[in-house]
Every structure is written in structure tokens, then in C-alpha cells.
A and B are shown apart, each in its own frame.
Chain A
Amino acid sequence: MAAIKVAEAPADQNRSKRRGKGMQVAGLPWILPAFIFVVGLIYYSIGYTGYISTLDWDGLSPKAKAVGMGNFSKLFGDQIFWDALGHTAVFYVVTFSVQTLLGFTLAAILHTKVKLATLHKVIIFIPTVLAPATMAPVFRIMFADDGMINWILRSVGLGSLAHPWLADGNTALPALMLITIWQWTGLTFILFYAAMSQIEPDLLEAARLDGAGNFRTLAYIVWPGCRGTTVSLAMLGFIGALKTFDIPYLVTTGGPHHATEFLGTYIYRQGIRQAHIGYSAAISTVLLVLAIFGAVLMSRANRKEVQG
């Protein structure tokens, strides 16, 4: 019986291979329009950006000067670029950590019996759907020297802490991180909430029967159960941090004195304001490489840990 099964298996596999090959041949023309669209639009654009990064060009002039890798070598000596990378790293670590902590905690709380749970979920999620362009002026007013934050501090007797938050290079970046956390914690919360809903109730029940308290259940059952979500959020957060543009551009325009410069704002400043399209394309190329490299690295680390 066992021998028959072993003998049949390769035949099934061969049939399956043939079927697969047949599907490839028949299916390719069907996906070709989409394939051409994707290759032609997205990958062509990426390739073209790579090509522009080898030029000294203002984006309009009919004459573009080829500079080879000149823009990239200039990049490595550009302190503002390095500062922007540093801001991105700090921004990512802080916003991801705080959002994860808050999102996970809120999701766990709302999985318990909470009154008006739906209302709470809506309130937590609303900032995520608000356009940064509409919120930026509000935050500029709130963080101004005579804004609401300082007014509250002065009102509760903490006037000595009042500060022109956006005017000081040391506090402008934390202010932006605070805005980002306020805006994106809702998304983190929703994803964790969904992930927690997927955990088998039997597993939680078993943990309870084994005497695990709330904290231990969260730490040893729920948190590992949300691992996939956390990794996805880490990757999305990393790529999002690299692409950060709207909040710093709208709230601080990258200032004061480049203290909130990110790769996105620097690309815009170089490409649009200073008409160095080639140089901004070089920064874009580096951004792309970093995003791919970071995502692959995280994915691999996660796979290793799961396998280990």
C-alpha cells in the first residue's frame, strides 16, 4: 500500500508540473497588459530616476550634463543628508516604539469588557483618516510660543516649561514625532486589535487555567500571537519613516536650520526649490535602496527568529 503511494506521487507531481506549465503559457498573455503597465510605469520611472541621478540638470534646461556618480559622491559629503538620515532613524525608533506600545495596550484594553467600546475605537482611529494638510496649521498654532501647549503649562503652574517648541532645533523634532504618534497610533491599534481577534480563545483559556495572570497572558500568549502584525508594522513604519514628507514639510518646512529635515523634504528642497533634479534623484535612489535593504533585513531577521 505504501509502495503504491510512493509510486503514484511522482506521476501526480509531473501532472501538476505540466498543468502549471500549461497555465503559465496560457496565462502570460492575460497578465501582459498589467505587466507592461507595471514595468512601463513604475519600474521605468525607477530606472529613469536612476538615470537622472547621473546628471547635473535643473529639470527644464534642454542641456543636461552627465556627471556619472558625481551626485552620489557629493551626497556622502553632504552634512544635511546625514542629518536627515539621523532624524529618520530617531524618528522611526521613537514613533514605532511608542505607537506599538500604545496601539497594543489600547487593543488589549478594548478586547476586555469596556463600556462604549465602539465609540472608543472610532475616537482612537479618527486621527488616522484626517489629512495632515488640515491638521498642520492646527499643530503650528498649538506649538507656537503663545499656543495652547504653553497656555496649558502656564495655567497649571508649569510656566517654566513653556517653550517655543517649533522654533528650537532641540524640540522641533520631538514635536513632529508627537504629531505622528497622535496620527498613526489609530492604525497600529486597529491592526493589533484585528490580530488579537485571531488568537484562539482556547489558547487564552488554557493559559488562564494554568494560572497565568493578565500580564503573563499578554506577554507570553497575546504578544507572540501578534508577531506577524508587529513585523509588518515595523516594515511599514521603516519605509514610511524614510518617505516622511507631509508632517515636517507642513509644520516646520524642515527647519529650524534643517533640524527637522528628512530625506523627503530634502529631496523636495533640492529638486524643486534649488532645481538640482539630478542631485535630488540621487537622494531618491539612496532612499529606495535603503527601503529595500531595510525591508529585506527585517523580513530575514523575522524568518530566522521564527525558524529558530
Chain B
Amino acid sequence: MVTKWTKKIALLSAAAVALAGLAACADTSEGGGSIDPVTTEKATSGEIVWWGFTPGSPVNEGYIEAFNKEYPDIKVTWKQTSIEDYDAAIRPALGNTEGLDVYQLSAGSANGGAAVFGPNAIDLSAAVEQSLGADWKDQLSATGVNALTIDGELKALAAGAVFSGTIFINQDLFDKYSLKAPTNWDEWKSVCDTFKKNKVGCFIQGAGQGAFNIDTVHAIADNVAPGNFVKATKGELDWTDPSLVKAFELWKKLFDEGIMQDGALGQMQYPEAHNGFMSGKYAMVMMGTWYLQFLSPDVMKAAMEGAGSTDEPFTMMPIYFPDIAGTGHTGSLFGDVDYGQAVSINSQNKGPATTFALWLGTSDAGQQAIADSLNLIPALKKITPDWNNVKLVNEAKQAEPTKALVQAASAVTDAPRFATINADMNQALMDALAEIAAGKATPQQAAETLKTQQETVG
């Protein structure tokens, strides 16, 4: 009798396990939770959880504080992960109906990229139209709208954009050795020779962190033939095009002729390259407009302390990538939305979540807070940094170049950074550039590999 019962219990247990398996399979094939893709709600109370990786505490808490001045009855909890861990953390969280309401969505294949995480967000088109009017697309930067729109649905409201194609230099070090910012290959080589003679590192890049290598090669490719790199990422131009092979050769030349620091392939952009520059050990670093935030003495001081330096903040200046191809094509800027606020389809608090996303992405107050941090180029076109509120280390030297760069970046309309590169091509590019740098593949071989990969994955 006992044996029969035991068998029954065992059978029931096995059946329960099997049913659980089937339920999980069904969840995979049909998706979970109800989908309400369009919302026009604008709630003024509730509690929401906001997930993201940038710019980080305490800046995000500052945005929340500013938001609460307008919406005191919406409680926002900021949940931060590192950029490296964001994808792994958010993947399971997006399946929940609790604990995640708003999340940061990036362009293309970047961390938290729209290509992967966009389908989990509601369409915000109707909400933004209600907030800004029918001409909302004209009021917002096309960079943000295009990158975060999937199949005609606006999946997130961009906070702002970042642009690459620039190098930041330590002007104090340049002045100390009577050097001028390089504008071509010979000048760059000469500058590096002088720094090295004086035991100062010249240019630093964390070439072990592949995404930044793509930035550098994109800048070189735009120097060789503007626009060809983006065409290749879209599949409109073969990677074996001579202009791109030339760009790969110049990339290799950076390593071979000592522009790139020794051991670059074993170092990361963050923290090593960033710390190398912030500590004054290196005079130049490959960074984009997100680095403008370090023009602020307080932000730079904190970064320098993080890099182990107790010196006073130095005069940092942005310059365009030098004309190393000798074509005269300089000043290229390419960028994407850094992040936008998406509302999860599984959120039980879509109303207040949408209110928050709209405030940060479309309100004057929210966008001004973003602009004044210099971290991003605001998504709302009419907003520019209030320079009276922006404090610089060296006002006399930094103000004009900074304003010029912000203005130039704001004017960029169609020069994507990662938005046209899917995750597979991103990996293929990182691999190809590392192989060229290490001498494991010639520029031509790497270009052919990329061509094959592009044909395979699109």
C-alpha cells in the first residue's frame, strides 16, 4: 500500500516537473505578460524603479531630485549596474512585472542596445506627441529618435547623444614642452617623440576594450573617405573597399610607429586609459564628447583622485582626430543616442514610468539638467548648456573649443556610431581590429573576413 502511494507521489512529482518544463517552453515560444504597446497616460503619482548604467550616482539621483520638484508624488528608485554587467542584469529583470519600470536603452549593439532590448519596451510615440505636439520629431534630435525607433515604434526617449571622433589632450603638458596639438601624422609623431624623450606617455587607448578601437578606426576611415565606414556597416559598401583597407593600414601604423602606447592590446579604456590620462602619465587619450564632463573642476578632481593623482585639475582640451591619411578630411563626428528611457511592457506602473521618461527626454527642466552636466548633447534641440552654470578648469582656454564642439555635435544628423552595427558585426570588427594590431592578420585579410561576416549576418 505504502509502495503504491510512494509510486503515485513519485509519478505526480515527475508530472509536476514535466509540466513546469512545458510551461517554461510555452513561455519561450509565446512570450509572457500582456503587451500594451501604446500609452498616452501621464500619471502624477506612483512608485517606479529605474534601471541603468550611466552616468551613475550621484548624477542620476540629481535628475530624480529635479524631477520630484515637478512631480513630488512619483517616487523613483535608481538601480545601477556597471556597463559591463548591464545586459546580463537586465535580461531576467525585464521578464518581471515588478522591480523594473523604466530602463536605459542604447543604440544598436551597444550595452543595453535597442536591437536586443527594444522589443521589451512600450511604444512612446503617442505619449511624446501629447507632450510636445505633432511636430515632436522636429523638436527632438534625429540621432535619438532614429536609433530608438524599431518597426515604427518609439521604444525610448533619448536623454541625449554622445559623439566620437575626438581626442582629448592635456594642454598643460603640451604647454610645458612648447608643443601644439597635432593636426597630421608628422606632427603627431613629432609630439610623441618629444613626450617620450621627456618620459611622458604620448597617446593612450585601451585597445583591449574593442568598442573604442571601432571608434578610432571609424575616425581614421572618415579621414580617408568620409562616410565609407558607415556605408560598410550598412552593407552598402564592401569591407574590402580600398579606402577601408587603407584605414586598417593606418590603424596598424599607430601601433607599429609608437603612437599607441606599448601593451595597448592588454589594457582597457576604463579604467586603464582613463586613469593613465587623468593621472597625467599620458598627454592624449581617445575619447568622445562624454569626456566633456571632466572639464568641470569638481568632476575632474574626483576622476584624478580615482586615478591615484593628488594634483590639481589640469586644462583638458578636445581636438579633432589628426589628418593622418593626408586627405584634408577632418572634423568628423559620429555618434548615437547614449541612452534613452524605455518603459517595460511588463511594468505595472506604466503611467508614472512614462511621465518620468517624458520629463527626462522632453521637458526643458530635464534636458537642461542633462545639458549642464556636459555629459551628453541634449535630445531636445532647443536646449544648450547654460554656460553661466558650467564651471570649467580654465575658462579662458577651454570655453571656446568646448562650445564649438557642442555646437558641431548638435548639428550632426546622420553619422551613427554603433546604431548600424549589430552585435555579431560588432564582435567581428573588434576581432578584426585586434588581429590587425597584433599582426595576426593583414589589413586585407581582416577586410575579407569582415566582408564574409557581413554577408553572413548582415
Contact = CB atoms under 8 A, between A and B. Distances in A.
**Chain B contact residues: helix, strand, loop or mixed:** helix
Contact of A172 (B266, B424, B435): B266
A55 B28 contact: yes
Contacts of B119: 60-62
A209 B116 CA distance: 73
A168 B6 CA distance: 61
B20 A29 contact: no
Interface stretch (A3-11, A44-52, A215-223): A44-52
Contacts of B94: 60
A36 B431 CA distance: 45
Interface residues of B, number: 49
Given A32-B9, A62-B31, A144-B266, 14 more contacts: A39-B13, A40-B20, A60-B116, A62-B32, A64-B28, A144-B267, A145-B262, A164-B265, A166-B263, A166-B266, A168-B265, A255-B210, A256-B438, A257-B435
B120 A60 contact: yes
B17 A36 contact: yes
Interface of A: 25-26, 28-29, 32, 35-36, 39-40, 44, 47-48, 51-52, 55, 57-64, 140, 143-146, 164-169, 172, 252-253, 255-258, 268-269, 272-275
Contacts of A48: 21, 24
B180 interface: no
Nearest to B6: A28
A275 B30 CA distance: 18
B431 A164 contact: no
Contact of A25 (B6, B21, B24, B424): B6
A100 to B, nearest CB: 29
Contacts of A146: 263
A35 B9 CA distance: 12
A32 B2 CA distance: 14
Interface of B: 2-3, 5-6, 9-10, 13-14, 16-17, 20-21, 24-25, 28-32, 87-88, 91, 94-95, 116-117, 119-120, 207-210, 261-268, 272, 423-424, 427, 431, 434-435, 438, 440
Nearest to B88: A272
B427 A273 contact: yes
Contacts of A26: 2
14 contacts: A29-B5, A29-B9, A60-B117, A60-B120, A61-B119, A164-B266, A166-B263, A167-B264, A167-B266, A168-B438, A253-B209, A255-B208, A255-B265, A256-B208
The 8 closest A-B pairs by CB, nearest first: A62-B31, A164-B263, A167-B266, A145-B263, A166-B266, A167-B265, A257-B434, A256-B265
A51 B20 CA distance: 13
B427 A252 contact: no
Contact of A140 (B116, B272, B424): B272
Given A36-B17, A269-B427, A273-B427, A57 B28 contact: yes
Nearest to B24: A48
Nearest to B281: A146
Given A140-B272, A256-B265, A275-B116, A25 B2 contact: yes
A144 B29 CA distance: 47
Nearest to B91: A59
A165 B25 contact: no
Contacts of B268: 253
A268 B435 CA distance: 21
Nearest to B457: A274
Contacts of A59: 91
Contacts of A145: 261-263, 266
Contacts of B13: 32, 35-36, 39
A28 B10 contact: yes
Contacts of A268: 88
Nearest to A52: B28
B427 A167 contact: no
Contacts of A165: 266
Given A25-B3, A32-B13, A258-B431, A272 B87 contact: yes
Contacts of B266: 140, 143-145, 164-168, 172, 252, 255-256
Nearest to B117: A60
B282 to A, nearest CB: 11
A257 B213 CA distance: 13
A153 B126 CA distance: 65
